[in-house]
Chains A and B, each alone.
Chain A
Amino acid sequence: MADIRKEPADATPNVTEVATVDAATEEAAVAAIDAPVSQGEPILQVRNLVKHFPLTQGILFKKQVGAVKAVDGISFDLYAGETLGIVGESGCGKSTVAKLLMTLERATAGEVFYKGQDITKLSGRALKAVRRNIQMVFQDPYTSLNPRMTVGDIIGETFEIHPEVAPKGDRRRKVQDLLDVVGLNPEYINRYPHQFSGGQRQRIGIARGLALNPEIIICDEPVSALDVSVQAQVINLMAKLQDEFNLSYLFIAHDLSIVRHISDRVGVMYLGKMAEIGTDVQIYDHPTHPYTQALLSAVPVPDPSARDNRERIILSGDVPSPANPPSGCRFRTRCWKAQDKCSTEMPLLAIPERFKGGETPASHESACHFAEEKDVVHAA
């Protein structure tokens, strides 16, 4: 898989536009969505995705006075069978990306191609088919399960919404199979969520995500609400399920160590933009974007002697407001390398000129005018 990942993501994929929703095109869309994708092919292609939340004033006659630019033009590919980690600090737009990919929010601009279909423009049957194939695991297992439904109802509801997946008499047994797959006792089917611990609830959430046999699971901080030892169990379970069901994960988190553990590739987000993207080795051992370097230098190191030798990059100032982001490079207000060029020219996410064609691991996409390699993790 490593070879294809080096391709820049800015090439527009060859796609069929679905603008109208007449029966024939919808039929074709559903067929395309249900078609299999071979391992290593791009399954989800995000192109210049934008989400602005309007800021309004006035009670009766609302007028827009601005917009929170939660996601401001990001592009990446997700390949079949891989895990793409997305990291970034709070408020950088990670969760908004997840909601956009789930079409829980409508994108302001940009496209998300799933097997060639732009899911931001789908509706009706085609959208339902996409939802069958892209599922989500939520951050907080305490609010993501309806407290007034039994586990059997929570997981079984997926079959009520998509009756073609499991025949009626078969559903209960399927739910019990799913509970077994995620490591819960199938006899717990009649229990309510409050009778489970946090880790067990997250397993129920995963079982719900798996029920429709999806190809992609979007995990929005799936373990950040859990205890550390339980985090490990849930992460290991997710890794096992990925092999078993050939899933692609988009794994959103702010814990860099967990992301490295589970991801094949990692994207770093800052203020609604992708700062850097590459394989885990490229990002963690050969970061070229100053923000990635600063972020990695903050990862806790358990070995005290290694910690003393490490260089800490302390950023000054706060994250600017996404309602009024800086001109040019988003990171320039806190960057120690910032020059005049950074405020006038927005750096594009591409392989930096100086690393182009080179076989070094630093040759990966990075949105910085002055990208240079700096190993902050192993610095001695």
Chain B
Amino acid sequence: MPEQQPWEDPSGAVAGTGAGGATDLAMEEGGSLEKTPGGEDGGPAGKPRSLWSDAWRDLRRNPVFIISGLIILFLVVISVWPSLIASQDPLSCDLGKAQEGSQPGHPFGFDGQGCDVYTRTVYGARTSVTVGVCATLGVSLLGSVLGGLAGFFGGAWDAVLSRITDVFFGIPVVLGGLVFLSVVTSSTVWPVIGFIVLLGWPQIARIARGSVITAKQNDYVQAARALGASNTRMLLRHITPNAIAPVIVVATIALGTYISLEATLSFLGVGLKPPAVSWGIDISAASQYIRNAPHMLLWPAGALAITVLAFIMLGDAVRDALDPKLR
């Protein structure tokens, strides 16, 4: 029986590439390997490369990343120094000019209270970007750490956490906001951010848990354990890079939701109180006058849309850069 196997015969054509013929192998098996000439693929002397350095190299040349990065950078700059591009005071309003359209010096026109829409849109970036970015960061960190650990360790911790997320999913957002925020007296954005993080983390936790469970079943995690790798190493080197993609996608989409949630809460009177300037407040106020004065809605809503789009594009670019198969 065995001597009739084609590969038993060391002089046979098939077995010729075996032990000794290792060098032929690259040619025979390597048909699918694209040879990239030049230093791009790294010669034997090329410097060590890793997922993160490759991802950064990839991102720097990705136009989507550059454009979204520039938009986000611009938003951050005007959030910190709104007076750089808006010389007026967002709170000095003239009721006589309420709902008027575009005029010299007031390119976006006036809102229902006669305030300059351009100035309010610029000043509103600070609140909206702060709420969006901080809430997303908080939700992502809390959710992925709790959900990821639950998925990785399983057992009682996982069971308890899953039941807790079920409880949080049962809380209606608006009702929860009314109850939670009505007892807070502070007029800053932080209670709103805290509330969003409190209600938002279970969503990310579920996604992170699921994708960690998928990733940890792969043989390469077992291989790392067989090598004697610690839990920390397995989580950081093997599981996180392979489980992070769905979290990035959901988190960047949720960022837009959080900015509008802040608007909803402000509209209900439990979010930011009126002297505060935010896109959400302006959008809520303008939505009643969409027929007679659409410009009041258009500008803050447009700014919100561009912001959300920039973050989604950034998340997409990062996710793609972390997947070597897409290069």
Query: Contact partner of A102 among B10, B18, B26, B226, CB < 8 A?
Result: B226
Encode B14-54 as 1/0 by CB contact (under 8 A) with A: 11011110110110011111100000011110101111001
Q: Is A321 an interface residue (CB 8 A)?
A: no
By CB atoms of chain A within 10 A, which of B33, B228, B241, B324 has the most?
Answer: B228
- Chain B count of residues within 8 A CB distance of the other chain: 55
> Within B288-327, which residues are at the interface with A (CB < 8 Å)?
322-325
Residues of A within 8 A of B159 (CB): 60
Residues of B within 8 A of A161 (CB): 227-229, 233
Identify whether the interface residues of B are mostly helix, strand, loop, or mixed.
helix
Q: How far is the CB of B4 from chain A (nearest CB, A)?
A: 5
Check B7–A190 contact: CB distance below 8 A. Answer: no
Q: How far is the CB of B217 from chain A (nearest CB, A)?
A: 9
Residues of B within 8 A of A158 (CB): 227
Check B51–A150 contact: CB distance below 8 A. Answer: yes
Select from chain B the residue with minimum beta-carbon distance to A211: B227
Query: Contact partner of B238 among A146, A176, A228, CB < 8 A?
Result: A146
Check A127–B228 contact: CB distance below 8 A. Answer: yes
Q: How far is the CB of B1 from chain A (nearest CB, A)?
A: 5
Q: Is B105 an interface residue (CB 8 A)?
A: no
Q: How far is the CB of B199 from chain A (nearest CB, A)?
A: 25
Q: Is B87 an interface residue (CB 8 A)?
A: no
Q: Is B2 an interface residue (CB 8 A)?
A: yes
Select from chain B the residue with minimum beta-carbon distance to A171: B48
Q: How far is the CB of B111 from chain A (nearest CB, A)?
A: 49
Q: Is B224 an interface residue (CB 8 A)?
A: yes
Select from chain B the residue with minimum beta-carbon distance to A244: B19
A-B CB contacts (within 8 Å), total count: 157
Q: How far is the CB of A132 from chain B (nearest CB, A)?
A: 7
Residues of B within 8 A of A260 (CB): 1-2
> Within A99-141, which residues are at the interface with B (CB < 8 Å)?
102, 104, 127-128, 131-132, 135-136, 138-140
Q: List 11 A-B contacts (CB under 8 A).
A: A60-B159, A135-B227, A140-B219, A144-B219, A144-B220, A147-B242, A148-B324, A172-B48, A187-B42, A189-B44, A301-B1
Chain A to chain B: the 3 pairs with minimum beta-carbon distance, closest first: A183-B22, A236-B18, A232-B7
Q: Which residues of B contact A (CB under 8 A)?
A: 1-2, 4-8, 10, 14-15, 17-20, 22-23, 25-26, 29-34, 41-44, 46, 48-51, 54, 159, 218-220, 222-229, 233, 237-238, 241-242, 322-325
Other 20 A-B pairs with CB < 8 A, given A189-B42, A189-B48:
A127-B228, A138-B222, A138-B223, A143-B218, A144-B220, A146-B237, A146-B242, A157-B229, A162-B227, A183-B23, A185-B26, A187-B42, A195-B33, A197-B32, A228-B7, A229-B7, A233-B18, A236-B19, A237-B19, A284-B1
